[in-house]
Amino acid sequence: MIKLFWRDVTLAVRSGGGFGLALIFFLIVVVLVPFAIGSDQIMLSKVAPGVLWLGALLACLLSLDRVFGLDFEDGTLDLLATSPIPLEGVYLAKVAAHWLTTGLPLTLAAPIYGLLFNLDFEVRQLLFLSLLFGTPALSLIGSFGSSLVLGVKRGGLLLSLLVLPLYIPTLIFGAQVARSAAIGQNFEVPLVLISIVSLITLAILPFAAAAALRINLR
């Protein structure tokens, strides 16, 4: 599993479809928002948590079709299915690689991008924590969606349609953490809830994704 994990990390970095593309897309979203809603700093600080979370969520979608797609096309996934590594382990290794090359860079970049919205240091800290606890759920759910559309022509659009509704709880709780901190309300509850979402997906989705992979590989 460790070798598979580092293999996927290396391929993501070499192909250019990992953190670089996601960070650029994230930055574009953040830069375009002030043009759409105006330069009012008070308004920007109010919408910043939702915008930053939405930008990170959409940036995660960019590389989801590559999680299993490339290995399916070149036959590597068939070899992995017959290897001693269970498909649940294959799924977790690929999720970890996706999070390291996409989710973690977005988490580190969000507090920096938050400066463009005039966010306080404390709010940016909590934004970082919410993304740190929430982006694993994005990778877990997205990789599960990738296993469902395996082998489907033009599956990228279908993947987005399947995954985006499942992202809603993570988006709501994640944005609520920074929003609550910005207005002086209790942020512990949404932070705990987003952690629970990540833990639930970690407990359930490896088995669901493995079942989907077995069906698609038949």
Residue 91: per-residue pLDDT:
93
Query: How confident is the model over 55-83, as a mean pLDDT?
Result: 83
Helix, strand, coil shares, percent, the chain, to 5: 85, 0, 15
Contact 146, 68 (CB under 8 A): yes
Picking from 130, 147, 134, 135, the residue whose alpha carbon sits closest to that of residue 205 is: 147
pLDDT digits (tens, 9 = 90+) for 177-204: 988 887 778 889 999 999 999 999 999 9
With the C-alpha atoms ordered 38, 40, 43, 45, is the resulting torsion angle positive or negative? positive
Q: How many C-beta atoms surround the C-beta of residue 109 within 10 A?
A: 22
Mean pLDDT across the chain: 87
Domain extent listing, the chain:
2-217
Helix H segments across 62-187? 69-74, 76-81, 87-98, 104-113, 121-148, 155-182
The amino acid present at 80, given as its one-letter code, is L
Please tell me the pTM assigned to this model. Answer: 0.91
Residue 15: per-residue pLDDT:
66
Residue 17: per-residue pLDDT:
54
124/218: higher pLDDT: 124
Whether residue 113 has pLDDT greater than 60 = yes
CA distance 181 to 126: 7
pLDDT digits (tens, 9 = 90+) for 136-154: 999 999 999 999 888 777 6
Whether residue 40 has pLDDT greater than 80 = no
Residue 55: per-residue pLDDT:
92
CA 212 to chain centre: 20
pLDDT digits (tens, 9 = 90+) for 79-89: 888 888 898 99
Q: Identify the burial level of 197 via C-beta atoms within 10 angstroms of its C-beta, where 0-12 means exposed, 13-18 middle and 19 or more buried.
A: buried
Tokens representing 76 are 């590597």
